[in-house]
Amino acid sequence: MIKITSLALLIGIGLNVSAQDKFQPTLQSFEANYKCPEWFRDAKFGIWAHWGPQAVPRQGDWYAKKLYINDVYDKKTKTFTGKPDPDYTYHLAHYGHPSKFGYKDIIPLWKAQRFDPEKLMALYKRVGARYFVSMGTHCDNFFLWNSKIHRWNAVNMGPHKDIVGLWQAAAKKEGLHFGVSEHLGYTYNWFQTSHGADKVGAMAGVPYDGNDPAYQDLYHAKADTTDNANLTNNIANQQNWLSSITELIDNYHPDLLYSDSKLPFDGIGREMLAHYYNDNLKSNHGKLEAVYNCKTGETNAKWVLDIERGLTDSITPFPWQTDTSIGDWFYRTGQKYKNANEIIQMLVDIVSKNGNLLLNVVQTPEGDLDEDVVAILEQVATWISINGEGIYGSRPWKIYGEGPSITAVKKPGQFGGISDADKNDYSQADFRFTTKGDTLYAFCLATPTKEIKIVSLAKNAALSNKRIASVKLLGSKNELDWHQSEEGLIIKKPSSLPNSPATVFKIEL
């Protein structure tokens, strides 16, 4: 295969960036000119609609890929097991063989007939979200916007609605910042399972519908043997990605753009990002309000690091984001959801470390929410309504917390950082801190059952040389009995204290 340099590649596809633009498609330009906007640093909490046709079978994430896996490959033993993926088995039983009824036939079944974006957005605002992210396209190559790139989009098929546009209008109505996510970089090789055939069984050797030339605009062309990494090395595919994401940017001018990968495709990815930043400057009269999320493994000055289902283990110099889901990524029958306590404690921990939480709220194929999901969100809303002042607009303190949970052994996250799936057995000795000017917020990650002690605020403690002027409990008008000792800030347990996943003390210095 002939390798093409980034410069030659960019010349070949035609730059969207002029020499007069502030951002040029180089890492040096991003580092010199980008600064994370204050709206994102203040927002702290966003909600994501990771939603599309793959919800239809109610089998969870990656259905479009796994329905074509007749023989599962075991990465540990590096052998094929001779057993089908559960999604293949489900598909065969409910829809038929993927040589005839494939993902192209699932798409028209997605009607979204109970989708009410304004109702959902009003709920999400009450829950505490300050920004909202719509999926633009998953790895299934189906676009949720009104696209001219190809016919496989939600205006032309399925719901026959501009899902991204409807989400954006609803977010603007509620005063929320709006973002879009793209997972398209992976699609070209992710969807290669559709080009296969059964390896075992009565239908062995019968080609799946992805081999039909009539559907190459959905399933892509069959990749050659050298193109087998997560991100394609095929230049035509990379150019298709650039055209698609550029259209998404130009149609909606989002405040936030999320890539489910590192910045894709070297020079082509840098061109996309320069275009996004420059477009955002123009859309906001010279003020940069853009946030670009990607997965690079470390925080930096060029964009905002995203960690999927993971957290940092310390305060970072640059803002970052955890993206996770309340359940599976797509709707799955019988799935277990994170409870409100887990969500709140995770939010507090993330914010104390200079991060934001982007939470996917799983929608049914029809577009509404399960009753238990609504109940969980309402519990989060109740806590936020009382304690949100310690979250929004805050910044990290000198340390992010204290207590046994700080030194506890953490499991590594699947995609970097530490896992967000650890079930922390917090005690009333576990605190997280945020600050606004001379106000310190101390989040006790358990409901206190006895006298409260904050060791970091002991008399003559090195962390603070300011006198404590007052201590209050958010949500209560009663005065607290407190004093500082050599052991810490000592607060007598109030006579009335609601059960809470994070009891918040407001400390004026």
CATH number of 438's domain: 2.60.40.1180
Q: How confident is the model at residue 283 (pLDDT cuts 50, 70, 90)?
A: very high
List, for residues 70-113, the tens digit of each pLDDT value: 999 998 999 999 999 999 999 999 999 999 999 999 999 999 99
Which range of residues forms the domain containing residue 272? 6-57+114-182+234-294
| Number of domains within the chain | 2
343 has pLDDT over 60: yes
| 159 residue type, one letter | P
Burial of residue 212 (number of CB atoms within 10 Å: 0-12, 13-18, 19+): middle
Asked if residue 201 is part of any domain, the answer here is no
Q: Examine the fold and report which residue of 253, 269, 294 is the final residue of a domain before the chain moves on.
A: 294
Asked if residue 377 is part of any domain, the answer here is no
Share of the chain above pLDDT 90, in %: 87
Q: What's the pLDDT at 423?
A: 62
Q: What would you measure as the largest C-alpha separation in the chain, in angstroms? A: 79
378 conformational bin, left if phi > 0, alpha if psi -120 to 50, beta if neither: alpha
Q: What is the mean pLDDT of residues 421-432?
A: 85
Q: What's the pLDDT at 1?
A: 31
Q: Are residues 409 and 275 in the same domain?
A: no
Cross-strand bridge partners of residue 48: 133, 360
Q: Are residues 399 and 290 in the same domain?
A: no
Asked if residue 379 is part of any domain, the answer here is no
Asked if residue 174 is part of any domain, the answer here is yes
Asked if residue 191 is part of any domain, the answer here is no
Backbone angles phi, psi at 101, to 5 degrees: -115, 100
| 192 residue type, one letter | Q
**CATH number, domain containing residue 259:** 3.20.20.80
Asked if residue 147 is part of any domain, the answer here is yes
Average pLDDT, the chain: 94
Asked if residue 41 is part of any domain, the answer here is yes
Q: Examine the fold and report which residue of 294, 319, 338 is the final residue of a domain before the chain moves on.
A: 294
Report the length, in residues, of the chain: 509
Q: Examine the fold and report which residue of 294, 325, 346 is the final residue of a domain before the chain moves on.
A: 294
Nearest partner of 499 among 440, 446, 422, judged by Cα: 446
11 has pLDDT over 50: no
What is the pTM for the complete model shown? Answer: 0.94
Contacts with 26 (C-beta within 8 Å, 6 or more apart), sequence order: 270
Burial of residue 486 (number of CB atoms within 10 Å: 0-12, 13-18, 19+): exposed
Asked if residue 84 is part of any domain, the answer here is no
**DSSP 3-state percent helix, strand, coil across the chain (nearest 5):** 30, 20, 50
Identify the weakest region by mean pLDDT among 15-29, 141-155, 346-360: 15-29
